[in-house]
Structure 1
Amino acid sequence: MELLNGVLIFFAGLWAGTINSVVGSGTLVTFPVLIALGFAPVTASISNAMGLVAGSAAGAWGYRREVQGRGRQLLKLLPASLLGGMTGAWLLLHLPEKVFSYAAPALIVLALLMVVFQPRLQNWVRNREENPEHAIRDKRHGVILVVLVYLAGVYGGYFVAAQGILLVGILGVFMTGTIQNANAMKNFLVLGVNVVAACSYLLFASGRINWTVVGLIAVSSLIGGVVGSKVGRRLSPAVLRGVIFALGLVALGFMIANLLK
């Protein structure tokens, strides 16, 4: 790997680790960079997901105070995330690579829409928080929450990008507490998805893993996760969303161009 490529991947991982712990969507930074550097989509997705495990762990540790008193709730939701992550990883490994080539652009569009509409979603969550009479406490919604967390895990195991934003939205609506509580829970659930997906890739797709990419993203996202959990909240969300959106469009352009070849 050329030095310049390695530097680009390292800084992409640093940025991804930082914003993953704060808002999610770090994959929309690293994935476009890997695609632009010529990596095959599935190899890029697998290597990126494995590398980001370290950053997810750092982010979860940084937000550990926000999950205090919510251990039982986390233990109820974590199995759904783990099972979803395994399902998504299985789909990535067993569906033809051509399916991912067609699905990835659509998933990028979905992820970008979640990034764009995140402020409105957060405002909705805040309004619910400020109006406790609207809080959902019916037991049936507990089942819905578990199912939605599982589906978010499937999405994360297959594609990774923006599963954090998806989870914050789900948890913010169906779970009592603040947005920071939802964000902390998100970090732990995303970590679970990433770990089981990475183990699946390691066991069943080791030949598709680019270990140089994994190492660069692991180290840089670990640093970014520590930074993000401490000072990332001071960064402008609007600026982050703008850059993420731009990089997502770059990835979309590269993937569509490859399909048209």
Structure 2
Amino acid sequence: MSVWQLAFLFVAGIGGGLTGSVAGLASLVSYPALLAVGLPPVIANVTNTVAMLGTTVGSVAGSRPELVGQGRTLLRLCLLTGVGGAAGGALLLVTPSETFEVIVPWLIALASVLLVAAPRLRRWAERRAESSGTIRGATPLGPLTLAAAFGVALYGGYFGAAAGVMMLALLSVAWSQSLARSNAAKNLATGAANLVAAVVFAIVAPVNWAAVGVLAAGLLLGARIGPAIVRRVPATPLRIAIGLAGLGLAASLWIQA
């Protein structure tokens, strides 16, 4: 991989970190960047998953105050999502690359739609919390919620983009607590899925480690400076532009597949 390609991935990582600050969808920038430098789709996906550990650590560290009091329930949830992430990663490794290339445009399109719809999901979750009465502690999660969380983690281990939006919507419905606390739980639950999938990929998958290094560095930097920039840039036009670009990418990949 050339110096220019590595530099491009670093800049893309910064853009991914900024996108994550807007809507939690860093993969919608970083994954296409890996494709742009010539990595095959499956290798790009596993490389992206490993690089995303940087943003996972940062988001969980920033959510520590909201995690207080959720330990017992989150332990069960993270064990489950960790297994789901491992299963999703294993599914990716045993799926023929041609199958993945057919599926991924639809996954990118789903992520793009969820990116545009994210504010509506957040407002709906806030209204539900207000109507049901916000509480400090987390209530136990039922079997259906845990099964749905496993499905989201399975998706996250297989591809990942928009898994955070899905998990936040699920936990907002399942828990009568503030949106900030549900978001913190989402960070930990999806982080567990991503961590286990990344470990699986690091051991047995063809990860491009040079790309991981520069992309992760860019993601960390973008996530660090993102909040300050987002305060000054209208989020809605940026979110819509990224969503439309994602739909365009999905259409292009669908035509190629």
Which TM-score applies when normalising by structure 2? 0.89
Instruction: Report SS of the residue matched to 2:5.
Output: helix
Counterpart in 1 of 2:155?
A: 155
Asked if structure 2 preserves the Cα contact closer than 8 Å seen for 1:85 and 1:156, the reply is yes
Residue range with higher mean Cα deviation, 24-33 or 9-18: 9-18
What is the identity, as a one-letter code, of the residue corresponding to 1:87? A
Counterpart in 2 of 1:37?
A: 37
The 1:161–1:218 alpha-carbon spacing in structure 2 relative to 1, beyond 3 Å, is same
The 1:226–1:60 alpha-carbon spacing in structure 2 relative to 1, beyond 3 Å, is farther
Structure 2: distance between partners of 1:216 and 1:134 = 42
Counterpart in 2 of 1:49?
A: 49
What is the identity, as a one-letter code, of the residue corresponding to 1:50? V
Show the 5 A alignment for 1:55-204: 55-132=55-132, 142-204=142-204
Deviation beyond 6 Å, 4+ runs, structure 1: none
Asked if structure 2 preserves the Cα contact closer than 8 Å seen for 1:35 and 1:41, the reply is yes
The 1:22–1:5 alpha-carbon spacing in structure 2 relative to 1, beyond 3 Å, is same
Displacement of 1:22 in angstroms is: 5.6
Asked if structure 2 preserves the Cα contact closer than 8 Å seen for 1:62 and 1:226, the reply is no
Deviations 1:1-21 (A, max 9, x none): 233322221122123234436
1:221 pairs with 219, 224, 244, which one? 219
Deviations 1:38-80 (A, max 9, x none): 2211011010110111121111101211212222221121011
The 1:27–1:216 alpha-carbon spacing in structure 2 relative to 1, beyond 3 Å, is same
CA RMSD of superposed structures (Å):
2.3
What is the identity, as a one-letter code, of the residue corresponding to 1:143? P
Displacement of 1:242 in angstroms is: 2.0
Give the total of aligned pairs: 254
Asked if structure 2 preserves the Cα contact closer than 8 Å seen for 1:14 and 1:220, the reply is yes
Residue range with higher mean Cα deviation, 50-59 or 17-26: 17-26
What is the identity, as a one-letter code, of the residue corresponding to 1:196? V
Counterpart in 2 of 1:245?
A: 243
Deviations 1:110-168 (A, max 9, x none): 11121122122112111101101699x997x6222211111110000000101111111
Structure 2: distance between partners of 1:44 and 1:115 = 21
Asked if structure 1 preserves the Cα contact closer than 8 Å seen for 2:23 and 2:118, the reply is no
Structure 2: distance between partners of 1:23 and 1:183 = 12
Structure 2: distance between partners of 1:138 and 1:175 = 6
Structure 2: distance between partners of 1:254 and 1:33 = 14
Structure 1: distance between partners of 2:153 and 2:249 = 22
Counterpart in 2 of 1:5?
A: 5
Asked if structure 1 preserves the Cα contact closer than 8 Å seen for 2:88 and 2:155, the reply is yes
Displacement of 1:253 in angstroms is: 3.8
Asked if structure 2 preserves the Cα contact closer than 8 Å seen for 1:112 and 1:248, the reply is yes
Q: Which runs of 5+ in 1 are unaligned?
A: none
Structure 1: distance between partners of 2:64 and 2:133 = 28
The 1:143–1:46 alpha-carbon spacing in structure 2 relative to 1, beyond 3 Å, is same
